[in-house]
Amino acid sequence: MNFDRICLSDIDWEDRCFEICNFGDNARLHASLERLGTIDPPWVWEKGGKYSIIDGFKRLTWAREKGIREASCLIFAGTASQRAIWERRIEKKLFEGELNPAEKARTAAILLELYNGEEAPGAFLAALGIGSRKGLLEKWARLSRWPAILEILGSGEISDRAAVELSGWDYESAIIISDILKLLRCSASIQVEIIERVEEISIREDMPRLDLLNDSNFREIVSDRNKNSRVKTQSLRDLLSRMRYPRLIERERKFMLDVQSLRLPQSVRIVPPQAFEGNGWKMELHFSGPGGLREAVAAAVVVADKSILDRIFDPDLEERSQ
């Protein structure tokens, strides 16, 4: 390697082999270049009288657009191996700062190709947040197949966890759900929840993901201009829950109606077991003194004598008795 000035006209601008694009806004970079020029010199690889950019695509493109003819660069000799250059390129990229999901996916794909069949260096995997988790590098690498998906991931509005979940999806479905998650601006955990629910419903109903995402109820929620992102997110979660657990949701609906018919005071509350499974029912009494306790207990005693309790505990009782 040597440090020297090169003519920008000698760069092979079509060769983007070493590019790891972050799809970010270039405004801050351009402002810095305008003020101070290039502080961190780009890297290039000399190949038969031409140069391939290794690192510094945006900086050199900016210089070219400004009519600058020459730039100081770190030059790798033509005899340097592509693998050695990539290892330096990845090392620099990983330790400049945290990678967004698009950069992470592209880097994972490069590592798989570089170390074909071999284990990638642990330092690289640790910096990517992958470590030794089996199959995770491959999942990230699969995302790099889709430039349109990478651009969405580069926005930073899709979490790492959600991105990994999408790695096994088909292209069209992945594009649609990514656009939806970007629109909803929900947390990483909710993004994963939505993706998992869609996948579970798809399997349960033997329905292609794309058909589910194009369901009229689904699209109506997402496209509703009268709802903000928070309301849309909750509406979508509710819809997916109803589709994923229809019996449970219907059970909850009947329970709420039956409890409302009891006209319980606010001081008395009937709590069913989780998912209505098992016999761990509870009755909670809320009071602020002896008088409140007496009232709550009296109300609970009255409720205990009502026949509707049998239906609350066993909603199928009436059907079996007919």
pLDDT in tens, 151-161: 988 888 899 99
Look at residue 111 in the predicted model and tell me its pLDDT: 92
Confidence of residue 316 (pLDDT cuts 50, 70, 90): low
Q: Which range has highest mean pLDDT (98-112, 118-132, 287-301)?
A: 98-112
Rounded mean pLDDT of 35-51?
93
> When comparing pLDDT for 184 and 121, which is higher?
184
- The rounded distance, in Å, linking the Cα atoms of 48 and 16 is 17
Rounded mean pLDDT of 167-188?
93
Look at residue 266 in the predicted model and tell me its pLDDT: 85
Rounded mean pLDDT of 258-278?
84
Q: Does 278 score more than 60 pLDDT?
A: yes
Look at residue 320 in the predicted model and tell me its pLDDT: 52
Which SS3 state, helix, strand or coil, does residue 285 take? strand
Per-residue tokens: 52: 């391939």
Burial class of residue 2, CB neighbours in 10 A (0-12, 13-18, 19+): exposed
Tens digit of pLDDT for each residue in 216-234? 989 999 999 999 999 999 9
Look at residue 195 in the predicted model and tell me its pLDDT: 96
Q: Does 322 score more than 60 pLDDT?
A: no
Positive/negative CA dihedral, 304, 309, 313, 318:
positive
For the chain, what is the total number of helices (H) and then of strands (E)? 17, 6
Asked if 144 contacts 106 with a C-beta cutoff of 8 angstroms, the reply is yes
Per-residue tokens: 199: 């996948």
Arithmetic mean of pLDDT over the chain: 89
Element (H, E) at 313: helix 308-313
Q: Does 170 score more than 90 pLDDT?
A: yes
Quick one: which of 249, 248, 221, 225 has its CA closest to 235? 221
pTM of the model: 0.72
For residue 197, CA distances in Å to 101, 201, 227, 244, 277 come to: 22, 6, 22, 7, 21
Look at residue 321 in the predicted model and tell me its pLDDT: 54
Asked if 10 contacts 51 with a C-beta cutoff of 8 angstroms, the reply is yes
Percent of the chain with pLDDT over 90: 55
Tally of CB atoms within 10 A around 152? 22
Look at residue 313 in the predicted model and tell me its pLDDT: 81
Rounded mean pLDDT of 202-228?
92
Q: Does 51 score more than 90 pLDDT?
A: yes
Q: Does 181 score more than 80 pLDDT?
A: yes
Look at residue 179 in the predicted model and tell me its pLDDT: 92
